[in-house]
């Protein structure tokens, strides 16, 4: 698809005449009880068929997470593993699926690395985030490939209201950690903008226990981030805008495997680090053509760039991936009971590496591929029940066509209780690494596919208590495993239960999330690697006039680091405390202590000289911060 040609087509559209509310989406980003990601449109959370969790900017300020992954670990059904401290590579396991089987978006744009499937969420600075929405369960009808386990969408900072609102934040903490951010947002009735910049630095920790002496140092991390959003209402019916997020920096890490030299058949010490850059740029055109038809076009570009070097050698490797995308969606209100979503997607992935990526590039290698799709979803709402039925067809340059179906039946038992029964299909195309990585590839791989079944119960128990619970099953076919080379030989069955209880009692606000999963390889009966069967997260918060107090308890059961279940990972419990004090209307002080009990734990293992060791995670860590928002 030719992007300039599409832009020209948009410029020739006739002038439209009625958008219900300019900045509708901008305003919705501030509200906790609405959802945008499920159907790419603003809707009430309780009206969505997706099991979902929403964090607004107010939630982020209250919880004081150190990173996006820290925030995600609070979501029932989501597990986060890391290989040692801030900036280390995370694994995001949503409902028992692996990282590459969940889709990550920033302002509507895919940011996943098309060579490895990783999303690099660890490099997105939490200070540049306005809102995070997490959809649990397949959403492949709306989003296509990768959305088997669910969807995570991050929205960058937005203007709160007309006028100018500057902000400054500085933080100092353990391990020589510094946080600095500066922002300015504002606008008028027609234009809104936000500009933010941040710099985070830490001396880090020694991520490995026993390994090469060169790994005995602390692993530092530096992250510079910039975000920019601009929206303009050309009329009451037409809005245009764009969003930019750019994060770049340096990440030191340990390499307990050493550097292998095939000419001498020996391994040597390393002191590796990487220069990274994760960026996303998107623009949109949002219009209401008439009272029943609303259309939105989004154009985007995202990049994942990484150059890895070694202080002890001349070793140097580059992995850069790029993605261009276009999405067109039409929302049609046919009558009071029937509505329709019609749309199309196109995106192209490209890879650039200094490897003879894909050794036989001339014979079978590919460094780019496109995917185009069309989708339709119908919603019917009666007095006591509703239905949702969707179909998507993807056409992939490498893998041909793929159909995905989904359907939901919602029964309203009474004004406070709903039951939802959902069936959904999903798929994931193999990454470039799966297909072409030198000496470890399989160009004959097929896409992974899934079928999911879910029963949800949503209940407003009292005015101050709400329960959302899900019982689900996901069947995976042609799952890719990594032995001597990637192969479509595995099938998996994941059964699970999760619940979220929100309660206010004696002025304390509590959010409890629990999850029980049984993720098994159907051939061997083994539990899937790095999936804990039981997780619990509890947040307690209370505001005493100017003083806010809060605590978090997180418990994760034991798991296995390998597919054969020979390398156990111990469970752990973490306690954190936080507080804030509004000195006046402009200045707020924050303090938190993570891992108060100084628990030693590991989320992943590595092997050194035939023995298994766990990557270190941070022990007790203190953080103090001050936020200044002067009123102009």
Three-class SS of 307-357: EEEECCCCCEEEEEEEEEEEEEEEEEECCCCEEEEEEEEEEEEEEEECCCC
Give which of 6, 27, 34 is closest to 297, Cα–Cα.
6
pTM of the complete model: 0.93
> Strand, coil or helix: what is 462?
strand
> How confident is the model over 493-518, as pLDDT tens digits?
999 999 999 999 889 999 999 999 99
Mean pLDDT by groups of 10 residues along the chain of 632 residues: 39 34 78 94 93 96 95 95 85 93 93 82 94 96 93 92 92 96 93 96 91 86 96 92 96 82 72 93 95 96 92 86 96 96 95 62 63 97 96 90 95 96 93 80 88 97 95 93 79 96 93 96 90 97 96 97 92 97 96 96 87 90 97 84
Domain that holds residue 176: 3-628
Count structural domains, the chain. 1
> What pLDDT does 265 receive?
66
Tokens 């960026």 appear where?
Answer: 279
* pLDDT tens column, 396-438: 888 888 999 999 999 999 999 999 999 999 999 888 888 887 7
What local confidence, expressed as pLDDT, does residue 112 receive? Answer: 81
Find, among 182, 158, 20, 150, the residue nearest to 76 by Cα. 150
Dihedral (Cα; 143, 145, 146, 152), 10-degree rounding: -10
**Dist CA 46 CA 502 (whole Å):** 14
Measured distance CA(216)–CA(219) in Å, rounded: 9
- pLDDT, residue 4, reads 41
Q: Which helix (H) or strand (E) holds 393?
A: strand 385-396
Contact 45/127 with Cβ under 8 angstroms?
no
| Three-state SS at 540 | strand
Distance of CA 184 to the CA centre of its chain: 25
Give the whole-angstrom CA distance, residue 294 versus residue 176.
Answer: 51
Number of H helices, E strands in the chain: 6, 37
Name which of 211, 214, 205, 167 is nearest 186 in CA terms: 167
| Distance in angstroms (rounded) separating the CA atoms of residues 632 and 149 | 45
Phi, psi of 140 (to 5 degrees): -70, -25
- Look at residue 13 in the predicted model and tell me its pLDDT: 37
The alpha carbon of 22 is separated from its chain's Cα centroid by a whole number of angstroms, namely 28
What pLDDT shows up at residue 240? 96
Cα gap 523→520, rounded to integer Å: 9
If one counts every other C-beta atom within 10 angstroms of the C-beta of residue 456, the result is: 22
Task: Check: CB of residue 320 under 8 Å from CB of residue 114.
Answer: no
Segment holding 24, helix H or strand E: helix 24-28
Nearest in space to 468 (alpha carbons), one of 20, 61, 33: 33
Do residues 596 and 550 make contact, with C-beta atoms less than 8 angstroms apart? Answer: no
CATH number, position 277: 2.40.170.20
Do 285 and 10 touch, CB atoms closer than 8 A? yes
Q: Kindly write down the DSSP assignment for every residue of 202-233, as one continuous string.
A: E------SSS-GGGGS---EEEEEEEEEEEEE
- CA nearest 24: which of 45, 48, 49, 43? 43
In this structure, what token pair is assigned to residue 110? 């895919």
Cα–Cα distance for residue pair 409/76, rounded to 1 Å: 23
- Would you state the pLDDT for residue 364? 40
């Amino acid at each position: 698809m030719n992007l300039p040609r599409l832009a020209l087509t948009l410029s020739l559209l006739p002038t439209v005449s009625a958008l219900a509310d300019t900045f509708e989406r901008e305003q919705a980003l501030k509200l906790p009880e609405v959802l945008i990601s499920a159907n790419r449109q603003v809707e009430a959370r309780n009206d969505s068929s997706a099991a979902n969790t929403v964090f607004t900017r107010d939630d982020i300020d209250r919880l004081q997470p150190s990173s996006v992954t820290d925030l995600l670990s609070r979501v029932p059904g989501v597990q986060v593993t890391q290989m040692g401290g801030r900036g280390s590579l995370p694994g995001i396991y949503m409902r028992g699926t692996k990282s590459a089987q969940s889709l990550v978006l920033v302002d509507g744009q895919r940011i996943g690395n098309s060579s490895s499937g990783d999303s690099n969420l660890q490099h997105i600075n939490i200070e540049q985030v306005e809102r995070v929405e997490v959809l649990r369960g397949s959403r492949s009808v709306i989003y296509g490939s990768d959305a088997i386990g669910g969807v995570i969408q991050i929205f960058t900072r937005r203007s709160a209201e007309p006028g100018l609102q500057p902000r400054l934040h500085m933080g100092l903490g353990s391990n020589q950690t510094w946080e600095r951010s500066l922002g300015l947002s504002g606008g008028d009735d027609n234009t809104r903008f936000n500009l933010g910049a941040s710099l985070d630095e830490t001396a880090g920790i020694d991520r490995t226990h026993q390994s090469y002496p060169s790994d005995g140092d602390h692993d530092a991390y530096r992250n510079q981030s910039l975000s920019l959003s601009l929206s303009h209402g050309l009329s009451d019916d037409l809005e245009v805008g764009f969003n930019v997020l750019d994060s770049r920096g340096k990440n030191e890490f340990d390499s307990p495997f050493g550097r292998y030299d095939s000419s001498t058949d020996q391994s040597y010490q390393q002191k590796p680090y990487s220069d990274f850059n994760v960026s996303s740029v998107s623009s949109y055109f949002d219009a209401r053509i008439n009272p029943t038809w609303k259309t939105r076009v989004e154009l985007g570009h995202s990049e994942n760039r990484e150059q890895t070097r070694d202080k002890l050698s001349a070793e140097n490797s580059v992995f850069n991936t790029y993605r261009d995308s276009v999405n067109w969606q039409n929302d049609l209100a046919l009558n009071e009971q029937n509505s329709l979503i019609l749309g199309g997607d196109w995106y192209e992935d490209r890879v650039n590496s200094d490897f003879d990526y894909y050794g036989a590039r001339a014979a079978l290698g590919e460094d780019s591929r496109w995917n185009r799709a069309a989708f339709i979803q119908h919603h019917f709402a009666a007095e006591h029940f509703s239905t949702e039925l969707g179909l998507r067809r993807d056409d992939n340059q490498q893998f041909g066509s793929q159909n995905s179906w989904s359907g939901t039946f919602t029964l309203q038992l009474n004004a406070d209780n709903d039951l939802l029964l959902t069936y959904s299909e999903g798929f994931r195309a193999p990454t470039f690494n799966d297909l072409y990585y030198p000496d470890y590839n399989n160009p004959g791989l097929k896409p992974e596919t899934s079928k999911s079944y879910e029963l949800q119960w949503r209940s407003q128990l009292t005015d101050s208590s709400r329960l959302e619970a899900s019982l689900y099953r996901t069947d995976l076919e042609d799952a890719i495993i990594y032995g001597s080379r990637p192969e479509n030989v595995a099938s998996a069955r994941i059964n699970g239960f999760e619940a979220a209880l929100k309660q206010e009692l004696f002025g304390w606000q509590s959010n409890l999330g629990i999850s029980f999963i049984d993720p098994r390889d159907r051939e061997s009966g083994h539990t899937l690697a790095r999936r804990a069967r039981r997780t619990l997260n509890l947040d307690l918060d209370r505001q005493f006039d100017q003083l806010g107090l809060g605590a978090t308890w997180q418990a994760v059961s034991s798991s296995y680091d390998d597919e054969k279940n020979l390398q156990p990972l111990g469970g752990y419990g973490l306690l954190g405390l936080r507080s804030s004090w509004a000195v006046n209307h402009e200045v707020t002080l924050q303090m938190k202590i993570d891992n108060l009990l100084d628990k030693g734990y590991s989320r992943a293992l590595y092997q050194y000289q035939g023995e298994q060791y766990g990557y270190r995670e941070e022990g007790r860590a203190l953080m103090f911060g001050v936020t200044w928002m002067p009123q102009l």
